[in-house]
Amino acid sequence: MSSNIKFTTPEEAVKVIKSGDHVHLSSVASAPQCLIKAMCARGENGEIKDVHIYHLHTEGPAPYADPKFEGVFQLDSFFVGGNVRKVTQSGYADYIPVFLSETQKLYRSGVLPCNVAMIQVSTPDKHGYVSLGTSVDATLAAVECAETVIAVVNKYVPRAFGDAFIHSSCIDMFVQDDTPLEEAHFTTPNDVEVAIGKYCAELVEDGACLQMGIGAIPNAVLAQLTNHKNLGIHTEMFADGVLPLVESGVINGMNKTIDKGKMVSTFLMGSQAVYDFIDDNPGVAMMDVGYTNDPFIISRNEKVTAINSALQVDITGQICADSLGTTFYSGVGGQVDFIYGASLSKGGKAIIAMPSVTNKGLSKIAPVLNSGAGVVTTRSHVHYFVTEFGAVDLYGKSLQERARLITSVAHPDHRESLDKASFERFGPHFQYIKMKTKI
């Protein structure tokens, strides 16, 4: 460890935060919880007010978003995660709609100021470099632009390669805290998710370069790829589901055009096994989100296959992925970045996959999106659409053909009402389209 590094306590470090400051927190597993706790203590003591906080999704508690801190902290997140969902929906916190690729641009362009960046890093090496580990995303941009950088040095932060390395001279204050990183565990896919996974896997070709998010459906897709060959990874994030495919050699990156042989990501969310996997692993490049999510960089690889999900889809192919009506549930994230990037890739495939109904049996395929629902992926961006009842290709299809195809993979209990809505919307000619469209 570099002898030039001097440590202080979390309580002393957060004294640099002044009323009215703008603070960035590193994301997901790397949220610096000891600094967050100390900052909130200052808020409770009335030492600061009107502090603006920005971050992507974070794992673990988010006490600064508690309604009791109204007027003290204002959270404007780039993605509405589960730990801040209720307070965002109730108005105590807010959301900045932004493509994940451009979160870094908010800082670098000066649209958002950054007075203090609070991050978590690995133990410094003999050259004085630390790694941002599991969270490069917009955090690197915040470090570059912040007036003051406070870093929690944590032996559990993996030493990741790529853009993750920063020199300790870029950091103003150091705090030691060896608390294990927050882990994310996912449920075993149910029958519906397994069916969706099979249909998606059938669209994945040997040599494809994959992007997929988190949760049961991506894990169900990955579980079906054991007999594929030479798959690559260029994604915004990955989790435990990729590890067996790496170990078996299915994922090797040999067919990638850029970053050949490397798995490229910008943040991680998973178990300790994932964090251990990227530690000192030159086969993984943790990159700036402006690189991983740039559609034109994404498209340089061939056969980019992007698999993303949705909350609701209408019969013309409009994809709502961030809200339930007017109620915000998540965010734009990287869906559009990768849908567009995959569509530009030679042999690429852009896939939207979701269960056909909610847990209460309501159709997630609707004649029109709910009032106030946001269109994340437009009808002109969408290509493949998958439910547990099949996969359909909407690219180049007319509105009436799309309605027929989308209805064909809706839950059988809802197909008649969707057919009726299409007939009412498009007129009697829809019957002709219905007959000629091949499912």
Q: CA nearest 146: which of 169, 117, 177?
A: 117
- Tell me the C-alpha distance between 61 and 50, whole Å: 20
Q: Are the C-beta atoms of residues 222 and 196 closer than 8 Å to each other?
A: no
Q: Are the C-beta atoms of residues 22 and 148 closer than 8 Å to each other?
A: no
- Tell me the C-alpha distance between 78 and 71, whole Å: 20
DSSP string, 369-400: PPTT---SB-TTT--EEEETTEEEE-TT--HH
CB-CB neighbours of 357 under 10 Å: 18
- Tell me the C-alpha distance between 350 and 343, whole Å: 6
CB-CB neighbours of 400 under 10 Å: 23
Query: Can 236 be counted among the known catalytic residues?
Result: yes
- E strands present in 132-227: 148-153, 161-162, 165-167, 173-176, 209-212
Q: CA nearest 196: which of 168, 179, 218?
A: 218
Candidate list 236, 388, 401, 424, residue with the active-site label: 236
Report the amino acid identity of residue 370: N
Q: To the nearest 10°, the Cα dihedral for 296, 298, 304, 307?
A: -110
- Tell me the C-alpha distance between 90 and 83, whole Å: 13
End-to-end CA gap in the chain: 63
Residue at token pair 């998710």:
193
Residue 40 DSSP SS3: helix
Residues marked active site are found at 236
